[in-house]
Amino acid sequence: MADNVMRKITDNLLKVYNYAFLEDTTYGFYKPNEAMYVGVRMTAKQYNCPKCGRAFTVDIRNDNDGILYFSKERIGEQKQVYERLGLDFPADWELMEKPYTYQLIGYCADCARRELGDSEDVGQRINNLCHELYLQDMLVSDKARQYMTDAVQHWLDGIHEAEELTRFDLANPEVLQELIWIMVLSDTEACEQALQDYRDALQPVLYELGTLLEKATPAWKAYTARSSSLPESMSDGEYHEYTLAFPADDTVGQDFYFKKSVEKARAEMFIRQPRINSIQDLLADAGFQEKWLDMVMDKANELTR
Ligand SMILES: [Zn+2]
């Protein structure tokens, strides 16, 4: 059982959140043609915060021989961003030949907190609260995963005789898994507290969202957080493997804020998704972790040595 198979509720929330607040393109299977796209040797992207002036650079993975395809509109936008930043945009022939840095202007997380955190604009406030909701959804699941691992560790810490483990058929994965689950289910106090904290955090957020959505227009423009570790399409409307810029694998995910259109119906869809509602939901969603098997086997080996 892989770790990621079990997280049904949080995986769903993550997908719907991305759909509601981040995604604006659809996937297409075709090779870009020269009439619509420009090949660019993109090696990095740089986030420029307009408030504090700091710049953050992310390396781009070297796929497709290092060439990514930009829509002509995107090239036009990049020229404007370069100009705003006081940079010289490369000549046409240089785009394919020389390393290109994609430039973005967006608030860093620190500045976003100061600039947008107290915004009374209805759309911005909805975005902020939905982001808070999303962070809480992920937090409770992450906490549960940690506390369940702690429960396994507490159980193992209390074992001092090899016999306490070896009397079970540890070579049988089903037996081992069931044994661990029983131990995890008998030590859920920390998870129950995390669930209570989650409920307490959600209640005022959901209440305020309810009143804001009554006032909201069918769509609005407001700043939305986007992680620097997500792939990004270099073409609007449609994307495919030739237009997607993937950050290098070791990229640290940092949020940057960009103004985007949000549809009320999508925001409502995110808010109405099923959420973790009981301790059973939480434990099932956090799921069995493969590393627990290793923890038990290591302990058994240590005691029989
Ligand atoms: Zn900043």
Distance 114 CA to ligand 1 centre (A): 9
Taking the C-alpha atoms of residue 71 and residue 69, their distance in angstroms, rounded to an integer, is 7
pLDDT of residue 240: 72
Do 288 and 168 meet the contact criterion of CB atoms below 8 Å apart?
no
pLDDT of residue 3: 44
* Host H or E run for residue 13: helix 8-21
pLDDT of residue 244: 84
Q: Residues 6 or more apart from 233 whose CB is under 8 A from it?
A: 25, 239, 243, 244, 245
Query: pLDDT below 70 — which residues of the chain?
Result: 1-6, 23-32, 237-239
Distance 224 CA to ligand 1 centre (A): 15
pLDDT of residue 39: 92
Tokens of 59: 């390396």
Tell me the helix, strand and coil percentages in the chain, rounded to 5. Answer: 50, 20, 30
Distance 81 CA to ligand 1 centre (A): 17
Distance 225 CA to ligand 1 centre (A): 13
Do 218 and 9 meet the contact criterion of CB atoms below 8 Å apart?
no
Distance 111 CA to ligand 1 centre (A): 4
pLDDT of residue 1: 38
* Host H or E run for residue 38: strand 37-40
Phi and psi at residue 55, to the nearest 5°: -120, 140
Distance 110 CA to ligand 1 centre (A): 6
Packed helices 264-272 and 122-157: angle between N→C axes, nearest 10 degrees: 30
Distance 104 CA to ligand 1 centre (A): 13
pLDDT of residue 253: 83
Distance 198 CA to ligand 1 centre (A): 29
3-state secondary structure of 239: strand
Instruction: List residues, by chain if needed, whose CB lies under 5 Å from ion ligand 1.
Output: 49, 51-52, 108, 111
If you search the block for the tokens 């939480």, which residue do you land on? 282
Distance 125 CA to ligand 1 centre (A): 20
Q: By C-alpha distance, which of 278, 293, 295, 275 is closest to 188?
A: 278
